[in-house]
Structure 1
């Protein structure tokens, strides 16, 4: 999928720790990211909306006003952040035409906004049970499904993440972060995982994920894990909407073949750090990431690359 010669983000370099919140201030000039895969991402989104719309979009009817807020932010963000591309380019004119068609059919504004950017867009709304997932355009999930999580509060959304479920200290901290987020102080974070293909759409349900874990050892192969592995980086941002008070959660997926590290000028440091982070994962964390079967082989291969 990626046309990049080097990774866009490397949270495995020691600047972030797996299974921690790790938020930092977000520069709104960098809120959205566009790269050479822009048209490919949007084409895949359109394909998913055409073939499996119920799996990639959901909304509570009362969120339409907040969705319009998101669409306005996205349009303004593109024009401000990428003046050479938006407006005035073929992509922008096509997007405007698409928005006009969508408006004629009363399409959800969140869907329209999603078809302008490579990010997925999720609306979180505060209710009696806390912050819940109230609307989402989610084409590129990382081992979860929108149908599993829609309408559920943060604690239940994170129930399968080690150390993040209901009753944990981290769950309480996340709720406080959402409660205290300011319009003028958006934040971002990065995390990573590994996969054995370059699919952006990875909607594994809990049932499927558990079954996969049971089969892991039996499906381990003897080939070089670096040749068939991809690094999946998530860049997540949180912005409080000024009118509705909802929180917009964006998720941007970056997929890089593991072998891209071999050509990186800091390959020794990156490969060594990734190996160390893999080695440090406990059993629950390995199972969540689906790496229990391959961990030792990946660590060995990365250490070899670091020493090359």
Structure 2
């Protein structure tokens, strides 16, 4: 491996604390806001999107491999500032199997529906901007 490699990973979590279990943990599954019958738009806004940026590279002198992880957590409501990111996340979730969604912290179809409704309400801004010019006039 000569060139550095990178990847990223994400998941929903009940807390922004970086030392708490990530998505898909029993702790996350037991959190009240992740209960299907109780999850609301406000709960989605209060959950956290945790993102890991991971790199691996070979050190030039020793030849050892160095693996790094940078973890960041932001409330889902921060996506309201970046509608394109909300649209991409919704598209990604729609393309996942139910098993992968559980791994990402979306425990069942009811929770998935609430999360997607929230993301779609943000992503509508992207569609609206695409059909209007800079001054907000229909193209």
CA contact (8 A) 1:213 1:290 kept: yes
Q: Of 11, 16, 20, which residue of structure 2 is paired with 1:202? A: 20
- Provide the residue aligned with 1:296 in structure 2: 113
CA distance in 2, matches of 1:257, 1:245: 39
Unaligned stretches of 5+ residues in structure 2: 126-139
Relative distance call for 1:252 and 1:290 in structure 2 (3 A) is: same
Task: Give every structure 1 segment of 4 or more consecutive aligned residues whose post-TM-superposition deviation is greater than 3 Å.
Answer: 211-218
Within the alignment, does 1:237 sit opposite 2:52 as a pair? Answer: no
Equivalent residue pairs, number: 119
CA contact (8 A) 2:14 2:28 kept: no
- Provide the residue aligned with 1:219 in structure 2: 35
Deviation at 1:250, TM superposition (A): 0.2
Q: TM-score, normalised by structure 2?
A: 0.70
Q: TM-score, normalised by structure 1?
A: 0.34
Select the structure with the greater relative contact order (CA < 8 A; seq sep ≥ 6): 2
1:58-207 to 2 correspondences below 5 Å: 181-182=1-2, 185-203=3-21
Larger Rg: 1
CA contact (8 A) 1:194 1:229 kept: yes
- Provide the residue aligned with 1:279 in structure 2: 94
Q: Deviations over 1:56-98 (max 9, x none)?
A: xxxxxxxxxxxxxxxxxxxxxxxxxxxxxxxxxxxxxxxxxxx
CA distance in 1, matches of 2:70, 2:31: 28
Within the alignment, does 1:247 sit opposite 2:65 as a pair? Answer: yes
Deviation at 1:226, TM superposition (A): 3.2
Unaligned stretches of 5+ residues in structure 1: 1-180
Deviation at 1:212, TM superposition (A): 5.2
Relative distance call for 1:215 and 1:232 in structure 2 (3 A) is: closer
